[in-house]
Amino acid sequence: MLMNGKKGIIFGVSNSHGIAYGIAKELFEQGADIAFTYAGEVMEKRVRPLAEEMNSKLIMSCDVTKEDEVKAVFAEYEKIYGKLDFLVHAVAFANREDLQGEFINTSKEGWDTALGISAYSLVSLCREARPMMNENASVLALTYLGSEKYVANYNIMGVAKATLEASMRYLAVDLAKVGARINCISAGPVKTLAAKGIGGFDKMLKAATLKAPMHRNVSLEDIGKTGVYLASDLSTGVTGEVIHVDCGCHAVYASIEEMEKLSAE
């Protein structure tokens, strides 16, 4: 198995329908030993059973906006696991009102919240993890096409994801000093609980299906397998990269299917 003997930590699993869980599941099935964090007591009820199914030795609360909690998690991780082979950052949040209406009306508080949780947290986690990283350790963060192009109702989260991707490229240089690498997966739209906060998401799913060369939406398994590739030694020469896992949707401006549908209307 590709991840035999590999150990690491994942931030952001919230339920069994999310992208973070899809990645964790594939890593576990490939032999990885995974530590889990959750955001507060409410999330513990959802995350702990999933982590226990994967025989996790560390299941711990962590608010990524609080440096003391981040430090505490990695201190405990080091006690239990020693070194680190992979880190998965699947943390993102924006206030609902900042995902609606015009982007121009984004509040300063909403900006700080979205970029702090969704982007700066990657810097914070990497800083604490770097001293315990093994050679060829891998960091993986989740992004979306809204970082590159305008996506209706994505608003501040698109800017946060763009910041995440830029941060990833700068972190690639810093982490390379200890022989580690970092990349992003830009996943296509997946029907998750988090996605329900985006207005018109069902239409977004249909549009992606029409546009994608593969004529389908991406699955959790598709994304999870790419996560294994990036976390494993199969990708030791890859860093600073954004890999799109969206059935090719990002590469197409307008498909024949879309044009035919518009013509029929």
Asked if residue 221 lies in contact with residue 26, where contact means CB atoms within 8 angstroms, the answer is yes
Q: What residue type is 146 in one-letter code?
A: G
* Bridge partners (DSSP) listed for residue 7: 33
Q: Examine the residue annotation and report whether 170 is marked as an active-site residue of this protein.
A: no
Q: Which of 120, 154, 170, 253 is catalytic?
A: 154
* Contact in structure between 141 and 184 (CB atoms under 8 Å): yes
Can you name the residues that pair with 185 across neighbouring β-strands?
A: 142, 243
User: Measuring CA to CA, how many Å separate 47 from each of 12, 38, 56?
Assistant: 9, 6, 11
Q: How far is CA 260 from the centre of its chain?
A: 34
Tokens of 88: 């998965």
Q: Is 144 a catalytic residue?
A: yes
Among candidate residues 21, 38, 81, 144, the one labeled active-site is: 144
List the catalytic residues: 144, 154
